[in-house]
Amino acid sequence: MLNVYLFQVLNGLGLGMIYFLISVGLTLIFGLLNFVNFAHGAFFLLGSYLCYTLVTLTGNFWLALVAGPLVIAMLAWALERSLIQRIYHLPHTFQILVTLGIALIIQELSIMIWGPVGKSVPTPELLQGVVRFGNFAYPIYRLFLIAFSAGVAILLWLLLERTRFGALVRAGSESTEMVSLLGSNIFRLFSITFALGVGLAGLAGVLSAPLRGAHPFIGPEVLGLAFVVVVIGGMGSFSGALVAGLLVGVVQSLMTTLWPQGASLMIYAAMAVVILLRPYGLFGRA
C-alpha cells in the first residue's frame, strides 16, 4: 500500500516539474514584461506535436528534445518582434484578446496539420522499461523526466541569479525605465525573455509527449493549470513557480488515488485558500 503512495508522489514530482517548466515561463514573461500570455498553453501543445513529428520522421527523441524548444523559441521571437511588442502598452484585457487569438490559430492549425485526434509518442528506446528497488518498480522515463527538469531548473536559476542577463531581467521587473537609463537595450531583453519563457513551455510539451501524447485541445487546460501555479507561487517568482508547481503536481497525483473526482477541485480550492491568506502568493511581493 505504501508503494502506491510512493508511486504517486514520484508521479506527482514529474508532473510538478512539467507544471514548473510551463509556469516559470509564464511568470518570467509576466514579471518582466507585465504581459499576460494566454497563448502559453498553445505553445505547450505545439511542443508535443513537434516532438511527435520529429520522433516519427527521425526516430530520435533527443533531437526533438533539443530542436523542439528551439524552434518554438524562434517562433516566439518572431511573434514578439512582429506583434507582441506592439501591445505591451495596452491594458491586460487587450493582451488576453490578442494572445487568445494566437492560441486559437495554433490550435486550429494543429488540427489541420495533425488531425483532430491525439497522437501518441513512443518512449525513447534508451528510457524504456522500469527500475526496480526491491519489490518497487518505477518507469525509467518518469525518473529521467524528474532529473532532466531538475537540471533545467538549476540552469535557469543560475541564469537568473548569477549572470548579468538574469540581473537585468530581475531589475527590469522593477523598472524597465531605469534599465534603459543604464544603457541596456530593454527591447532586446523583452524579446529574449519572451522567447525563453515560451521556449520553456515548448520544452514541457516535448517532455510530456511520451507520457501523454499530443492533443489539439490540451492548450486551455495547460494554461489554466499554469495560472493556478503562478497564482499560488506568486507572480514573477522563480521559487514560487517551483514550489507551487511541485505542490500542485503531487497533490493532483495523490488525489487520483484518494479521491479521483476531487483532484481538480482540490487544486482550485488550494488556490482559493492561498488568495485569501496570501493575496500575492507564497513567494510573491506586493
Partner 1 sequence: MLKLENIHSYYGKSHVLEGVSLQVEAGELVTLLGRNGAGKTTTLKSIVGLVDTPRGEITFNGHDIRGMQSFRIARQGIALVPEHRGIFGILSVEENLRIATRKQSRWQLDDIYHWFPRLEERRRNSGNALSGGEQQMLAIARALLNDPKILLLDEPTEGLAPVIVDEIIRILTAIREEGLPVLLVEQNLRVCEAVADRHYILEQGQVVYQGRADAFKADPAIRDRYLALSA
At its nearest, how many Å lie between partner 1 and the CB of residue 283?
A: 12
Q: Name which of 241 and 247 has its Cβ closer to partner 1.
A: 241
Q: Give the footprint of partner 1 on residues 90-119 (CB under 8 A).
A: none
E-strand ranges in the chain read 130-133, 136-139
What CA–CA distance (Å, rounded) separates 154 from 164? 17
Question: What mask of x and - would describe binding to partner 1 in positions 187 to 226, judged by CB under 8 A?
Answer: x---------------------------------------
Place of cell 514529474: 14
C-alpha cell at 87: 501591445
CB 164 → partner 1: shortest distance, Å? 6
Separation of alpha carbons 36 and 13, rounded Å: 27
Size of interface with partner 1, in residues (CB under 8 A): 20
Please, how many CA atoms are within 13 Å of residue 170, restricted to the half-sphere of its CB?
14
Which residues from 146-165 bind partner 1, rule CB under 8 A? 164
Q: Indicate the SS3 state at residue 243.
A: helix
How is residue 244 written as a grid cell? 507551487
* Residue in 78, 113, 181, 269 binding partner 1, rule: CB under 8 A: 181
Position 56 contacts partner 1 (CB under 8 A): no
Judged by CB under 8 A, does residue 184 bind partner 1?
A: yes
CB of 126 to partner 1, least distance (A): 41
Residue identified by cell 518505477 is 138
Check if the beta carbon of residue 76 is closer than 8 Å to that of residue 195: yes
239 touches partner 1 (CB under 8 A): no
Q: Does 286 bind partner 1 (CB under 8 A)?
A: no
- Closest distance between partner 1 and the C-beta of residue 75, in Å? 26
**Residues 31 and 235: beta-carbon distance below 8 Å:** yes
Return the number of the residue (110 or 193) whose C-beta is nearest partner 1: 193
Nearest distance from C-beta of residue 236 to partner 1, angstroms = 10
The SS3 of residue 225 is helix
- Strand duo 130-133 + 136-139: pairing: antiparallel
Q: Contact between 34 and partner 1 (CB under 8 A)?
A: no
Residue 103 φ/ψ, nearest 5 degrees: -60, -45
Query: Reduced to 3 states, what is the DSSP secondary structure of residue 10?
Result: helix
Decide whether 53 or 85 has the Cβ nearer to partner 1.
85
Position 167 contacts partner 1 (CB under 8 A): yes
Q: Which of 34, 60, 180, 264 binds partner 1 (CB under 8 A)?
A: 180
- Contact call for residue 85 and partner 1 (CB under 8 A): no
Distance separating alpha carbons of residues 276 and 81, to the nearest angstrom: 38
Is there binding between residue 175 and partner 1 (CB under 8 A)? yes
Chain contacts with partner 1 (rule: CB under 8 A) = 164, 167-168, 170-171, 173-175, 177-187, 285
